[in-house]
Structure 1
Amino acid sequence: MSMKDLATAPTSADANGITVLLMNLGSPDSPDADGVRTYLAEFLSDSRVIEIPMAFWKLILHGIILRTRPKKVTHAYDSIWFHEQDKAGYVGAPLRVYGEKIRDALQCHFGERLTVKLAMRYGNPSVKDTLRDIMDSDSSRILVLPMYPQYSATTIATAIDQVNKHIQTMRFIPELRFVRSYWHEPAYLDAMANKIQTFWKTHARPDKLIFSYHGIPQRNVKLGDRYYADCLATTAGIVQRLALSEDEYLTTFQSRFGPQQWLQPYTDKTMETISREGVKSIHMLSPAFAADCLETLEELAILNRDIFLANGGESFEYIPALNDDEQHVTLFSQLIEKHIAGWE
């Protein structure tokens, strides 16, 4: 090719399309020991998630955890899996299925204005493959929208890390924007409050409403992670809309792992305590999850329900995540409009 040909050859810089990259945590490709092991190996090798010397941690991970844990949780994954295709053809892990439904609803909403893609931080569809598809299209502007309302280095920061890891290998770099968090958006708080109020129309109001957030080690917060503050502020924003008094709700933290002190109060311990103290009915939800997954459908809706009922509680109901609700799709469409301003 001559120098003249090089000067006139089309390049990625000629593209000006916009792609929105939705990102969530991920799930195993299959609800069996091999699928779970592969997923956990990637997830638990992330230094943003496990903040201890990696050489030491690898010995524990590969010597103990990956040999034992996949067998323990395979049944749990299998119990929540969408094994049969629904009428629209969606099948698989709930987290991925709801992500695909939100992606498709947003694509329908925006039409040809932009492209909406979905990638998982761990597992598939991978960030690497999805970014390659984007750069092979007419997009040179990417809005990364991690589907986590509250900020944490263990979720949003590692999602951004993964995008940057693969972007830095490219010859032509796209324009990038990131949504850091969205718990404070009125549309999000309104959607959460409306979800609860709608649930209460068909279920009697409980003695207490439990806001259970995924936990992180207390050490992370001491080192500057703002997740704890975001969670408390989320509860406050929803409670204000519901006009609840202080004795009508609690904020707790779930899914602790390992010997460290995690954010407290712990959800499971709280279930033991309040049921023994005479609380007879509760409704539980997790504003930290945009879509239902193992931590909500199994850990909250089953395991914590069992703890509450075994210690004297009489009625436990889990309020589903926003999933592909219309209000959720509207929230994301508003976020996208806000963050692509100036690109059209």
Structure 2
Amino acid sequence: MGVDIKRYGVLLVNLGTPKAANTEAVKKFLAEFLSDIRIINFSPIIWKLLLHLIILPLRSPKLAKLYESIWTKEGSPLLIYSLQQKIELKKKLSNIPVELGMSYGMLPISEAINKLLTKKVENIIILPLYPQYSNSTTAVVFDMIIKILKKYQIIPRINFIRSYADHPYYIEILKKSVELSFKKYGIPERLILSYHGIPKYYEKKGDIYPKQCELTTYLFSKLIKFPTHQIIMAYQSKFGYRKWTKPYTNTILKFLAKNNIKHVQILCPGFSVDSLETLWEISIRNKDLFLKYGGEQFHYIPALNATKNHIILMTKLIINKI
């Protein structure tokens, strides 16, 4: 007996984005994001006071200006690319419904699940768009799914794709992406693989995220024809005063520039779509830093976004669960 694909549905999940590049929208988004206990492991009462009295009033206007610098006529880049992924994946999967949900902000996961169940889906394949598992990203999605499904009398079967840090095709298309950049801009003196950082105490508590990043970097380094000693793994997006996973991307760039390295290219393997962290933090702030201290060529290699190869990867991950 064949598989009834009409009973399957796919839920893509990404972190989320503010509705607009203004202080009010950013404040609302941050309040939701920074209230998640998996994101902030701190005394709830004290944290709530810090968040609403200090962090949100100070940080929201600053972040709004940064979002404004990358905002497009169509809106948030993260949302635009994510919607494109949904559209292209739907074309590949034919009769299987595909929905997009966000952990925070616009397009809540609850609405996406409701749309799938309305279509009589009995099996939901959930693909969090985080190649490397982390307690602060992938596990958040799992928590939300469980909480949402508690409201339903009949729950669907769930196929949860926890990570794909070592998937051969994922590593292959990262390599192809880098090779295209090398062809366009020339061979750099250093290639940096920059991942979103996490607080160091997350790792001490057992988060396997750094190990997943190391695995992706190792497999990529083995596959690409580029000297291993010229590939540097680093972490970006540090927030607050606690220690985070090291080395920090900005520290590495500053060090390289000061030590007469003139040409670097940078890939962010953990970001499935371009967002504030890549389009501003890497492409603008870190580029400026590298040039300021003596660097001459800095090229950011775009995320996989809704490229043909990325959609093929997503299709492979999903078909494997049917």
Q: Which TM class, normalised by the smaller chain length?
A: over 0.9
Output the CA distance in 1 between the equivalents of 2:120 and 2:105.
26
1:65 to 40, 44, 55: 55
Could you tell me which runs of 5 or more consecutive residues in structure 1 were left unpaired when the two chains were aligned.
Answer: 1-14, 84-90
2:70 to 64, 80, 87: 80
Output the CA distance in 1 between the equivalents of 2:80 and 2:284.
21
Matched, 1:272 2:262: no
1:149 matched residue in structure 2: 131
Offset of residue 16 of structure 1 = 6.2
Larger Rg computed on CA atoms: 1
Output the CA distance in 2 between the equivalents of 1:305 and 1:34.
29
- Percentage of matched positions with identical amino acids: 36
1:184 to 141, 157, 166: 166
Instruction: Look up the equivalent residue of 2:17 and give its one-letter code.
Output: S
What is the TM-score of this pair, normalised by structure 2?
0.97
Output the CA distance in 2 between the equivalents of 1:47 and 1:330.
34
2:212 matched residue in structure 1: 230
Spell out the pairing of 1:172-251 with structure 2 (5 A cutoff): 172-251=154-233
Spell out the pairing of 1:252-263 with structure 2 (5 A cutoff): 252-263=234-245
In the alignment of these two chains, the number of paired residues is 318
Offset of residue 311 of structure 1 = 0.7
Offset of residue 22 of structure 1 = 0.2
Instruction: Look up the equivalent residue of 1:98 and give its one-letter code.
Output: Y
2:83 to 76, 100, 104: 100
Could you tell me which runs of 5 or more consecutive residues in structure 2 were left unpaired when the two chains were aligned.
Answer: none
Contact kept in structure 2, 1:16 and 1:141, CA below 8 Å: no
Offset of residue 242 of structure 1 = 1.0
Contact kept in structure 1, 2:221 and 2:228, CA below 8 Å: no
Output the CA distance in 2 between the equivalents of 1:132 and 1:211.
37
Output the CA distance in 2 between the equivalents of 1:82 and 1:238.
32
Aligned-CA RMSD value: 1.1
After superposing on structure 2, the runs of 4+ consecutive aligned residues of structure 1 that deviate more than 2 Å are 243-247
Offset of residue 245 of structure 1 = 2.2
Output the CA distance in 2 between the equivalents of 1:71 and 1:299.
17
Output the CA distance in 2 between the equivalents of 1:238 and 1:285.
11
Output the CA distance in 2 between the equivalents of 1:323 and 1:74.
23
Contact kept in structure 2, 1:39 and 1:123, CA below 8 Å: yes
